[in-house]
Amino acid sequence: MLRIIDARNGEPTHVRPGLVRVHAHVTRADASALRVLLTADVLARALELGGTPVVTVAAPSAALREQADALGIRPAEPDAPGLGRALHVVGAKDTAPDGVRLEVATATGPADTAAPPSAVRLALLARPRRHPVVLDQAALAAAQDTLERWRRAVAGWAVHPSRPIPEQVRHELRAAWEDDLDVPAVLEVLERVEGDDDVPEGARFETYAYADRLLGLDLAREIGTRA
């Protein structure tokens, strides 16, 4: 069950079964607002992986919506007050109606406007959401290098017989994202699995495919493109 630390009081709250309305509060069209939308997107994915139905709510500007589309952030719907339990995703010092709040620190950049959107997405996900992010050339280059390496690896693992995800690995992944949406810890699990020769290639593929349902990084994109 997903546990969220409420930014209002620092207390943990567990998201009980039932419809949830994930409300992303954005008033600008900058990198910080994009990070709020991305956090809401990943939160919705985590809830759905746990079997919870989700409605995402936001009213971004046309410019911000275009950026969000490029990053693979799901389209939001107009607000529907009273529909399900509300979880509010807000930027630092932003306000929201009463209810559980996930606070997201600022993001600056990207300085490199030519960076692939998937690299921007990974660079934003790689930092804990309460820590500021600077999307400079170094951060974006590191994210792109990781994406290229993982996509090559996934394409290579895909040609091997499928094997189940090791139960301990599955537990670590779920424990990470269910613990206050700790996405960097999910990425750390993938780093370990990548280099663990005791995990069969087919199980590594299934692990990455499963985690990508949360991350939305299109890690299987290069399957079938390599001889």
Q: What does residue 12 show for φ and ψ, rounded to 5 degrees?
A: -75, 145
- Measured between alpha carbons, how far is 2 from 179 in angstroms, rounded to an integer? 6
Question: What is the reported pTM?
Answer: 0.95
Residue 181 inside a domain? The answer is: yes
- Measured between alpha carbons, how far is 211 from 175 in angstroms, rounded to an integer? 12
User: Is the same domain home to 92 and 139?
Assistant: no
- Measured between alpha carbons, how far is 1 from 178 in angstroms, rounded to an integer? 6
In terms of C-beta distances under 8 Å and separation of at least 24 residues, what long-range contacts does 108-113 make, across chains too? 108/31, 108/32, 108/132, 108/133, 108/134, 108/135, 109/31, 109/133, 109/134, 109/135, 109/136, 109/140, 110/31, 110/135, 110/136, 110/140, 111/135, 111/136, 111/137, 112/136, 112/137, 112/140
User: Is the same domain home to 92 and 140?
Assistant: no
Residue 180 inside a domain? The answer is: yes
Tokens standing for residue 187: 């990425």
Number of domains in the chain: 2
pLDDT for 10: 93
Residue 70 inside a domain? The answer is: yes
User: Is the same domain home to 33 and 139?
Assistant: no
User: Is the same domain home to 86 and 141?
Assistant: no
User: Is the same domain home to 91 and 29?
Assistant: yes
| Nearest residue to 209 (alpha-carbon basis) of 179, 119, 142, 217 | 217
User: Is the same domain home to 87 and 176?
Assistant: no
Are 65 and 86 within 8 A, CB to CB? no
Angle at 29 (CA atoms; ends 180, 104), nearest 5 degrees: 15
| Nearest residue to 59 (alpha-carbon basis) of 97, 98, 28 | 28
User: Is the same domain home to 143 and 197?
Assistant: yes
Residue 109 inside a domain? The answer is: no
User: Is the same domain home to 11 and 59?
Assistant: yes
User: Is the same domain home to 53 and 82?
Assistant: yes
User: Is the same domain home to 120 and 227?
Assistant: yes
User: Is the same domain home to 49 and 148?
Assistant: no
Residue 164 inside a domain? The answer is: yes
pLDDT for 159: 95
| Nearest residue to 58 (alpha-carbon basis) of 72, 46, 41 | 41
| pLDDT string in tens for the chain (227-residue length) | 899 999 999 999 999 889 999 999 998 889 999 999 999 999 999 999 999 999 999 988 999 999 999 999 999 887 777 778 899 999 987 877 888 999 999 999 876 677 899 999 999 999 999 999 999 999 999 999 999 999 999 999 999 999 999 999 999 999 999 999 999 999 999 999 999 999 999 999 999 999 999 999 999 999 987 54
Q: What is the DSSP letter of 77?
A: B
Are 42 and 137 within 8 A, CB to CB? no
Residue 68 inside a domain? The answer is: yes
DSSP-based three-state secondary structure for 164: coil
Residue range of the domain that includes 196: 114-126+135-227
| Cβ neighbours of 200 (radius 10 Å) | 17
User: Is the same domain home to 92 and 197?
Assistant: no
